[in-house]
Amino acid sequence: MDLFTHFIVPFILLFFLKSRYKLEGAFGGISVDFDFFIIFVGILFPQLFVFTHRGITHSFVFGFVSAVIFLFIITRVPVQKTIGRMIKRDLNLTFTYKTILIAYFGVLIHLLLDFLTTGGIPLFYPFSLTRFSGELYYYTDAIATLAALVVLGCLYFKIDPRYKKGAMILFMVLLISMGGIRAGEKNNALNSFESEIEGNFAYIAAYPTSDMFTWNVVLRSSDNQRYALYEYQGRRGEKIFQGNYSALTIKNGTYTSAITAIKKADELSVVENFKWRSFYTCIEASYENGQWKLTYFDIVGSYATRNNLTVYIKN
């Protein structure tokens, strides 16, 4: 989800809960997206690749840490005055045990929204690097972003409070309705491939695109070695075949030698990072000039994953 939606949703919820600390919750909702300040850590130390966007701060533990730090900074008097002059409004933010919990509420709403988007987030880091995702929304949605900006404008300008309340209600109805449509389309996509399970594949998964009616559908074999990729067009109920893939393809060399090379490559931070971001990692292994050329690629792909990664491992 976009930054504006992450600000607006906790603000709206706290508004209808009649909380005095709506802004603290809203700022908590965007605090974890200021992880771009720590991206350099992952660049300088590749083994710390979790220091990235939708990485370390997008977890229950470090989301709390982010909220505390962010709230502490923006409640300092010089910072509040600077922001106040920029937006021509008095913020009156406070840093107390209660507002810290309110800010963490905003973080939890943020994590829920990002959980519902594709790609997932490491909710239980540092205990687990596993990314969790409901695979319902795309990373961002132009309609939701535009609607959030409109609501922000309504809240900023001095207009009738009834219109502000109406704008907030309409925004939540829109966001939930879009989720409902996407859930229905995802279910249709999965149901349209049920007959394929009887053949060479045992599992089906659907992944959202920027178009709520278009889904990437992956059929997977029971041994996780074979995949088939389709594009499902919900408006026409059409299934468009994209290709068959193997988890491992070996050219030249022996299977045993290739597996040994892959195990060595798995110890490389750049490979671990690629696999962490990847939906389905496939490998093309080719033995050339006394070394293994290993090309990793993701059949689904994402905005955060390069198209492929090639490493060389000496035999």
User: 31 and 129 share a domain?
Assistant: yes
What strands lie across the sheet with 291-298, from one edge to the other? 248-251, 281-288, 291-298, 308-314
User: 125 and 33 share a domain?
Assistant: yes
111-149 exposure pattern, b = at least 16 Cβ within 10 A, e = fewer: bebbbbbbbbbbbebeeeeebebbbbbbbebeebeebbe
Which of 2-16, 55-69, 287-301 is the least confident region?
287-301
- Listed residues 105, 140, 175: the one ending a domain: 140
User: 28 and 83 share a domain?
Assistant: yes
- Output the DSSP codes for 45-61: -GGGTTSSTTSTTSSHH
Report pLDDT for 196: 75
Residue 152 lies in a domain: no
Mean pLDDT within 215-243: 93
Which range of residues forms the domain containing residue 57?
3-140
User: 221 and 254 share a domain?
Assistant: no
pLDDT in tens, 11-34: 999 999 999 999 999 999 999 999
pLDDT higher than threshold 70 for residue 306: no
Please give the Cα distance from 298 to 305 (Å, whole number).
Answer: 8
pLDDT higher than threshold 80 for residue 201: yes
User: 230 and 284 share a domain?
Assistant: no
- Listed residues 199, 219, 244: the one ending a domain: 244
User: 77 and 132 share a domain?
Assistant: yes
pLDDT higher than threshold 70 for residue 303: no
Cis peptide bond prior to 46, omega within 30° of 0: no
User: 9 and 134 share a domain?
Assistant: yes
Report pLDDT for 205: 95
User: 265 and 305 share a domain?
Assistant: yes
Q: What is the DSSP letter of 130?
A: -
Residue 177 lies in a domain: no
Give how many domains the chain has, as a whole number: 3
Instruction: Count Cα atoms within 13 angstroms, Cβ side, for 3.
Output: 9
Identify the three-state secondary structure at position 123.
coil
Which of 35-44, 184-193, 226-235 is the least confident region?
35-44
Residue 162 lies in a domain: no
Report pLDDT for 304: 59
pLDDT in tens, 146-187: 999 999 999 999 899 999 999 999 999 999 999 999 999 999
- Listed residues 244, 261, 284: the one ending a domain: 244
Residue 174 lies in a domain: no
User: 18 and 66 share a domain?
Assistant: yes
User: 237 and 281 share a domain?
Assistant: no
User: 136 and 16 share a domain?
Assistant: yes
Please give the Cα distance from 147 to 157 (Å, whole number).
Answer: 16
Which residue has tokens 């599992």? 203
